[in-house]
Amino acid sequence: MRKYFFSTILAGFVITLAAGVFAANQIKTTETFIIGTPDVLNPSTATSSALTLYIGDNLSGVTNPVKSAQVAVLGVYTSTADGNITVQLGSDSQVFTMKDVSAPTPFEILYNATGTTDAITSAGTYNYTLTVMPSAQITIYGLSAKLVESHEYIPANCADGNPANEKVKTTETFIIGTPDVLNPSIATSSALTLYIGDSLTGVSNPVKSAQVAVSGVYTSTADGSIDVQLGSDLQTFTMKNVSAPTPFEILYNATGTTDAITSAGTYTYTLYVTPLGVTIYGLGAKLVETHRYRPPTCGTGYAATGNLESSTFDTGIVSGSAYNSIMWAGQLGTNEIGKVKLQLATDAEGDGPWTYYGADCNQGTFYTAASSTPMEIGCPAVHNNKRYFRYKVTICSANNCSDSGETTPQVDDVIVNWSP
């Protein structure tokens, strides 16, 4: 009785020479700096700051594209009694109750901005005004605010879209995380390297938002401050005297420094942090920046063909084997577009040279059939009594294997049937 043996490799092979078509809508999150003020916000005194949100993605046909939008309002507050903080974006005002505290207390409020951003239905620039006002019982130190929004969009045929449709992305860069104690009046500095690889050519003011989040725990013996400087821009944040170690986070507005960015490249800065009248433990800092850019030129689709040559397989039969059939398993592109072609090479010693043949013993022909369909290997005079073999798989994005197609086949397995 003849025994049959199968050799298979999991290839997971698709054409990757050009970007593909996404099957479903995508979602992205951007972060936009609004305010990081060194000023003390006194009771019953409102402060306002402009916010510009840019969306460059295609929202056509997407129902309620903005899935989440929140304004994170944070700082440290003191009080004389129970009070509140009123936060308003556009016409939507929300009041947050603040409990009376016996010592300066960090806080973070998440304001639901979806009521305002629900009006967004297409790409473009959206301008709002954020207003924050503490009640008569509340004083705020180190007030900061940022918008974090997530929207659903329709991706372009190539991964990053058309160059005419500018996009926005947010990056986050670590600056410092030090285990050392930062004593009063002692400055610490750390280098920051920001890399932008996107094309900014022709984009007006490409950096839309840049903030350095400085955080840690502080102690004090009196009211003090923290100096934060990136480049030549120095900002001083007032810190209220505290009776116990108190966590803090400051949002330093870095747009004054990053406004000079007009092209792709590496930008190097130095961040300085100096506590005045306070001691800082667990100092950390990161840069969060959002920039607008032009995507690279889209291709017309996938490459016409892609090839994969296997490693060498050893049948273990010293006198050589008989090769019976070959097949592939996987799927063609959308609507069964494309083609998968196989060739086989055999060798007695396993060191080549490797010459690949198709079904009619010709180097220019192939084995072609539907997925999971065994194809008889001919050419016994060429292949039989050879111990080692390789295969080559060619996938085509179009049926004629010469044009560029919009989808690609995927090959998961190639199976060779052989016997002693």
Joined tokens for residue 116: 């305002």
Segment 251-271 shows an average pLDDT of 93
* pLDDT of 373: 94
CA distances from 362 to 382, 398, 402 (A): 10, 23, 20
**CA-to-CA distance for 119 and 65, rounded, in angstroms?**
9
Contact (CB, 8 A) for 404 and 300: yes
Of 222, 216, 217, 266, the closest CA to residue 240 belongs to 222
H/E stretch holding 236 reads: strand 233-239
**CA-to-CA distance for 136 and 129, rounded, in angstroms?**
22
Q: Residue 139, Cβ neighbours under 10 Å: how many?
A: 19
Contact (CB, 8 A) for 94 and 234: no
* pLDDT of 153: 84
Contact (CB, 8 A) for 315 and 324: no
Taking all residues of the chain, what is their mean pLDDT, rounded to a whole number? Answer: 87
Q: Which ranges in 182-338 belong to alpha helices (H)? A: 255-258
H/E stretch holding 380 reads: helix 380-383
Q: Report the percent of the chain where pLDDT is more than 90.
A: 62
Peptide bond into 184 cis (omega under 30): no
Joined tokens for residue 345: 């090479």
CA distances from 212 to 142, 282, 333 (A): 13, 16, 46
Joined tokens for residue 404: 């560029």
CA angle 329, 11, 157 (to 5 degrees): 85
Segment 162-168 shows an average pLDDT of 61
The domain spans of the chain are: 5-18+300-419, 26-293
Of 389, 261, 273, 241, the closest CA to residue 322 belongs to 389
Residue 16 has pLDDT above 60, yes or no: no
Burial class for 29, CB neighbours closer than 10 Å (0-12, 13-18, 19+): exposed
Residue 183 has pLDDT above 90, yes or no: yes
Residue 100 has pLDDT above 90, yes or no: yes
Q: What type of residue is 237? A: F
* pLDDT of 158: 55
Q: CATH number for the 5-18+300-419 domain, one of 2.60.120, 3.20.20, 2.40.420, 1.20.950? A: 2.60.120
Residue-wise pLDDT for 274-305, tens only, equals 999 999 999 999 999 999 888 766 555 677 78
Residue 151's Cβ-side half-sphere holds a number of Cα atoms within 13 Å equal to 33
Residue-wise pLDDT for 202-233, tens only, equals 888 899 999 999 999 999 999 999 999 999 99
What's the distance, Cα to Cα, between the start and end of the chain in Å? 11
* pLDDT of 19: 32
Q: Which of 93-107, 189-203, 210-224 has the lowest mean pLDDT?
A: 189-203
Give me the sheet containing 66-79, strands edge to edge. 26-36, 138-153, 66-79, 105-112
Segment 7-16 shows an average pLDDT of 46
* pLDDT of 360: 87
Give me the sheet containing 124-134, strands edge to edge. 47-55, 124-134, 83-89, 92-98
Phi and psi at residue 42, in whole multiples of 5°? -75, 160
Q: What type of residue is 126? A: Y
Of 243, 226, 244, the closest CA to residue 235 belongs to 226
* pLDDT of 166: 63
Higher local confidence (pLDDT), 60 or 42: 42
**CA-to-CA distance for 71 and 49, rounded, in angstroms?**
12
